[in-house]
A and B are shown apart, each in its own frame.
Chain A
């Protein structure tokens, strides 16, 4: 499989949010404002790529030779959690501008399941290192795309008449179902 194919597959055909149901908590919680959703999307992209670059070598060069693959869940979540901490410290000290834009989202990212799922799948799909990076960039940009789409739709919903029984959160899921139907059109994109 070539890299572009993996990238498009992760970005559109198997979009993390609307097709795979990952990271729904932040998808519902962080999309009340377009700017906020973009910030969160980029923070997730950044951490996902870093996490892939860290967990792939750990799995293949440490866990496999030592026969410790059953510790995968434990090790991966710890690596991601400490990585998020490190990134937070680094940004706070050296890039305060970026920190103030992205900082508040970082602690939330530790329990974002899209990141953990992407790092797991890089292993279970037996991707090489480069393919893994391509998959994680595609997947997390797919997350960003879905976040921005829903944030835009929420802006419109606020001024539209919504059926009474769907007011509040239910309408968000109905809207997501409609986005999902649109995304299913991509399924013929890659053979």
Chain B
């Protein structure tokens, strides 16, 4: 319960420090003692920052917000794993009990040409928003919707759409992919809307626009290693990529 618990650990951190996008970065080493196993990973970084501030060193910038695994704000490549070693877990849900006394933890920002570093571990993921603005929606103005039960949707279809819709837009798929590809992110939205009848009228233009925008943003290409699926904290399947590929082919040939 308190700071000087006998279970507390000493952790050696190697953290990417980069003052801004214009400056070069490098790894810095810090040692943090009194790390409680009950702490979350980000609380450990909070503690590091308090320590650094006491030592008049500028604290490490990292993105975080809801700290319950849903907002998608947190990131971090932790010892080579996007969001850390635990499957289906965001960095904010990772706890220090995953580590043991004396462990070394290497922390880096997401690396992608499309996600330039803002500062330290913070990157700019606005490329995702631009992809969404290109077509990740159903064009329905407020007020023009028919009754919600007007169109029946099979439970299995709604469930599968929900599987895809769970994407939190964190960018772990891009970060983990050997090629920095955003296919899983784009496919999750394309697939969700292509499964549902509401998404049908724009299905063809949506997939074409979103793929074109994805390429324009500078992401890499999919080589079907499924690294994205393994890193995805929501476990979104690469089957959605297959569905997007199918939709893209269909829309290219037929519409």
Report if A and B associate in a common complex. no
